[in-house]
């Protein structure tokens, strides 16, 4: 058993990166607890030592050499110490082996339990470190099951949780469905890392654009703003750092293939790519696309924009249930009041 323990410790050190000293200390602490529990020892100052060379396990009791014995659990007579082979003067401490005969079986079982536990802890720590570095990134996972209102997702080495408030109401999360998720947060718990996923986070669209559009990934095109109504529509404002690159065209791709791939991943959610502008009037016009805008009148004090559109563009500018104008307002940071051109003429 002694050789087996040393072999296992050495293997774990090489393959799992857990130091030999760490494992040795953990095993010794567990063995001491097992000794006190199983043998109800009255010895004070007892320790369990695992010899790093031979693997031999010994239970040692620390005692002071005395001339007159008062407490046999902490003291030993000088004559007795000499009989045991110790050369110690009165007042000195010695360590005497008190290993029970049948302690080997308990020691082997305890050491195995400690090693298994440490391996589990090391694996949990490794997975936590790996996924904590991916916080804010996108990962591909497979839906496994539902636990209450939560969706459990297989991420390969561990599982992630898609809470109700991170789920898109128009999406179905059937077991076996493969999709991409945004890693919102990675928490360290006693049961292992708790990985919170999202399908509603704007960061999901940002990361999908970085994956699909090389110009975004390489930094030639900046994503200035994203506003989203998950499952329905997203508006993304982009700006080019290179005059020769059309930021909107780069994101849309040839025949719209790039933005289509993103829409497909978002299960049909529409993605509008617009050109960013520091001029609020221009930005508001862009943000209201695909509607045509005739005029934008800005009120700086109330930060309100009155937008005039052709009568036949009014419903398009507002969007279904006010969705288009609502997203445009969020993207631009202005409150938008839309009017048809006919109404303006009547007022004039």
- Say if 126 falls within a structural domain: no
Look-up: residue for tokens 């996923």? 197
Given 95, 120, 145, which residue is the final one in a domain?
120
- Say if 53 falls within a structural domain: yes
Model confidence at 219: pLDDT above 70: yes
Model confidence at 249: pLDDT above 70: yes
Q: How far apart are CA 51 and CA 74, in angstroms?
A: 24
Given 152, 174, 198, which residue is the final one in a domain?
198
CATH number at residue 32: 3.30.1480.10
Q: Of 41-55, 94-108, 156-170, where does the model show the most confidence? A: 156-170
Per the structure, how many domains does the chain have? 4
Residue 248 shares a structural domain with residue 334: no
The set of long-range contacts for 164-171, using a CB threshold of 8 Å and a minimum separation of 24, is 165/200, 166/196, 166/197, 166/198, 166/199, 166/200, 166/201, 167/199, 167/200, 168/199, 168/200, 168/230, 168/231, 168/267, 168/269, 169/230, 169/231, 170/231, 170/232, 170/267, 170/268, 171/199, 171/231, 171/267
Lowest mean pLDDT among 25-29, 180-184, 240-244: 25-29
Residue 205 shares a structural domain with residue 194: no
Calculate what percentage of the chain has a pLDDT beyond 70: 96
The answer to whether residues 79 and 69 touch, using CB atoms and an 8 Å cutoff, is: no
Residue 308 shares a structural domain with residue 245: no
- Say if 127 falls within a structural domain: no
Residue 49 shares a structural domain with residue 92: yes
Residue 20 shares a structural domain with residue 113: yes
CATH number at residue 294: 3.30.300.20
- Say if 323 falls within a structural domain: yes
Residue 288 shares a structural domain with residue 268: no
* pLDDT recorded at residue 87: 85
- Say if 128 falls within a structural domain: no
Residue 73 shares a structural domain with residue 181: no
Q: What is the mean pLDDT of residues 178-192?
A: 93
pLDDT in tens, 19-50: 778 888 888 888 888 887 777 665 567 888 88
* pLDDT recorded at residue 348: 44
Residue 205 shares a structural domain with residue 191: no
Q: Which two tokens stand for residue 204?
A: 């999901």
- Say if 292 falls within a structural domain: yes
Selection from 239, 243, 256, 250 nearest residue 215 by Cα:
250
Number of neighbours of residue 124 by Cβ within 10 angstroms: 17
Q: pLDDT confidence of 343, banded at 50, 70, 90?
A: low
CATH number at residue 173: 2.40.50.140
pLDDT in tens, 273-326: 999 999 999 999 999 988 999 999 999 999 999 999 999 999 999 998 899 999
Residue 305 shares a structural domain with residue 251: no
- Say if 129 falls within a structural domain: no
- Say if 125 falls within a structural domain: no
Q: Which domain holds residue 334?
A: 281-348
Q: What is the mean pLDDT of residues 172-184?
A: 96
Residue 145 shares a structural domain with residue 51: no
Residue 245 shares a structural domain with residue 217: yes
Given 244, 276, 308, which residue is the final one in a domain?
276
Q: Which two tokens stand for residue 219?
A: 């930094």
Residue 54 shares a structural domain with residue 84: yes
């Amino acid at each position: 058993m002694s050789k087996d323990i040393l072999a296992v410790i050495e293997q774990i050190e090489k393959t799992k990166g857990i130091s030999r000293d760490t494992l040795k200390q953990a095993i010794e602490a567990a063995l001491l607890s097992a000794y006190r529990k199983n043998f109800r020892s009255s010895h004070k100052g007892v320790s369990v030592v695992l010899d790093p060379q031979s693997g031999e396990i010994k239970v040692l009791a620390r005692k002071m050499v005395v001339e007159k014995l008062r407490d046999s659990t902490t003291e030993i007579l000088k004559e007795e110490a000499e009989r045991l082979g110790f050369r110690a003067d009165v007042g000195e401490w010695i360590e005497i082996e008190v290993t029970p005969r049948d302690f080997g079986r308990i020691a082997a079982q305890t050491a195995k339990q400690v090693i298994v536990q440490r391996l589990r802890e090391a694996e949990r720590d490794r997975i936590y470190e790996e996924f904590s570095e991916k916080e804010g990134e996108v990962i591909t996972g497979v839906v496994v099951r539902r636990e209450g209102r939560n969706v459990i997702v297989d991420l390969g080495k561990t599982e992630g949780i898609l809470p109700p408030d991170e789920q898109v109401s128009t999406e179905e999360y059937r077991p076996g469905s493969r999709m991409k998720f945004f890693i919102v947060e990675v928490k360290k718990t006693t049961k292992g890392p708790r990985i919170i996923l999202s399908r509603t986070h704007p960061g999901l669209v940002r990361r999908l654009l970085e994956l699909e559009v090389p110009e975004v990934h390489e930094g030639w095109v900046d994503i200035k703003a994203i506003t989203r109504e998950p499952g329905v529509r997203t508006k993304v404002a982009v700006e080019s750092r290179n005059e020769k690159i059309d930021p909107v065209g780069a994101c849309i791709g040839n025949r719209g293939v790039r933005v289509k791939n993103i829409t497909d991943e978002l299960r049909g959610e529409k993605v509008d790519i617009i050109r960013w502008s520091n001029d609020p009037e221009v930005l508001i016009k862009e943000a209201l696309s695909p509607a045509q805008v005739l005029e934008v009148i800005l009120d700086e004090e109330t930060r309100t924009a009155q937008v005039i559109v052709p009568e036949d563009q009014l419903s398009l500018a507002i969007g279904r249930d006010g969705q288009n104008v609502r997203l445009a307002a969020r993207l631009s940071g202005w409150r938008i009041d839309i009017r048809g051109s006919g109404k303006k003429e009547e007022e004039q």
